[in-house]
Amino acid sequence: MASWDADVLIIGSGIAGLMAAHLLADKKNVILITKSNVNRSNSSWAQGGIAAALGTDDDWRKHFADTLLAGLSHHVDEHVEILVKRAPSLIREMEKIGVPFDKSKDGTLSLGMEGAHSRRRIVHANGDQTGKAFTETLIHVLKDRVTFLEETTAIQLLKQEDKVVGVLTDKGVFQAPKTILATGGAGQLYERTSNVPEATGDGFALAYRAGATLADMEFVQFHPTILYREGYAHGLISEAVRGEGAVLVDEEGTPIMANQPLKDLAPRDIVSREIHRKYCEGKRVFLDCRSIPNFSKRFPGISRICEKASIDLKQLLLPVAPGAHFVSGGVWTNQRGQTTVDNLYAIGEVACTGVHGANRLASNSLLEGLVFAEAVAKDILHSKPTIDYMKFDKKVANHIKEHMLPSKKELQEKMTLLVGIERNAQTLKEMKQWLLPYIPIVKLSPSEKVSKEKVEVQNMLLVAWLMTCAALTRTESRGGHFRSDYPVLDDKKWLKTYIKSSLEQDSFIEVHSRADIKKEKRYESVIN
- Please list every residue from 247 through 306 that binds ligand SIN, using CB under 6 A: none
CA of 207: how far to CAs of 95, 196, 213, 386, in Å?
34, 21, 8, 20
Is 277 a catalytic site residue?
no
Contact between 420 and ligand SIN per CB under 6 A:
no
Residue 361 CB, nearest approach to ligand SIN (Å)? 8
CA of 505: how far to CAs of 59, 257, 261, 396, 496, in Å?
10, 28, 20, 57, 15
Contact between 48 and ligand SIN per CB under 6 A:
yes
Residue 403 CB, nearest approach to ligand SIN (Å)? 36
Nearer to ligand SIN, 169 or 353 (CB): 353
**Cβ-contact 164, 79 below 8 angstroms:** no
In sequence order, which ranges of 121-210 are alpha helices (DSSP H)?
130-142, 202-209
Contact between 362 and ligand SIN per CB under 6 A:
yes
For ligand SIN, which residue has the nearest CB? Answer: 48
Contact between 47 and ligand SIN per CB under 6 A:
yes
| CA nearest to 118, candidates 490, 515, 513, 505 | 505
How many residues interact with ligand SIN (rule CB under 6 A)? 9
CA of 369: how far to CAs of 83, 226, 268, 470, in Å?
10, 23, 20, 24
The residue within the footprint of ligand SIN, chosen from 66, 136, 170, 239 (CB under 6 A), is 239
- Please list every residue from 467 through 526 that binds ligand SIN, using CB under 6 A: none
> Which window, 313-321, 347-355, 362-370, 413-421, contacts ligand SIN (CB under 6 A)?
362-370
DSSP assignment of 411-465: HHHHHHHHSSSSB-HHHHHHHHHHHGGGHHHHTSPPPTTS-HHHHHHHHHHHHHH
Radius of gyration from C-alpha coordinates of the chain? 22
Residue 427 CB, nearest approach to ligand SIN (Å)? 26
**Cβ-contact 31, 11 below 8 angstroms:** no
- Please list every residue from 8 through 27 that binds ligand SIN, using CB under 6 A: none
Nearer to ligand SIN, 362 or 457 (CB): 362
The residue within the footprint of ligand SIN, chosen from 238, 272, 333, 445 (CB under 6 A), is 238
The residue within the footprint of ligand SIN, chosen from 43, 152, 363, 445 (CB under 6 A), is 363
Cα–Cα distance measured from residue 363 to residue 66, given in angstroms and rounded to the nearest whole number: 12
Contacts of 463 (CB under 8 A, 6+ apart): 186, 189, 200, 201, 204, 205, 217
Residue 239 CB, nearest approach to ligand SIN (Å)? 3
SS3 state at 40: coil
Residue 392 CB, nearest approach to ligand SIN (Å)? 40
Residue 52 CB, nearest approach to ligand SIN (Å)? 13
CA of 217: how far to CAs of 73, 330, 358, 528, in Å?
16, 6, 10, 12
Nearer to ligand SIN, 66 or 448 (CB): 66
Cα–Cα distance measured from residue 156 to residue 177, given in angstroms and rounded to the nearest whole number: 16
Strand partners, 318: 287
Nearer to ligand SIN, 24 or 361 (CB): 361
Nearer to ligand SIN, 224 or 446 (CB): 224
The residue within the footprint of ligand SIN, chosen from 23, 196, 240, 511 (CB under 6 A), is 240
**Cβ-contact 217, 26 below 8 angstroms:** no
- Of 40, 209, 268, 478, the active-site residue reads 268
Residue 217 CB, nearest approach to ligand SIN (Å)? 18
Contacts of 150 (CB under 8 A, 6+ apart): 34, 36, 37, 38
Residue 46 CB, nearest approach to ligand SIN (Å)? 6
Amino acid of residue 285: V
Q: Looking at the annotation, which residues are catalytic?
A: 268
Under the rule (CB under 6 A), what is the footprint of ligand SIN?
Answer: 46-48, 238-240, 362-363, 365
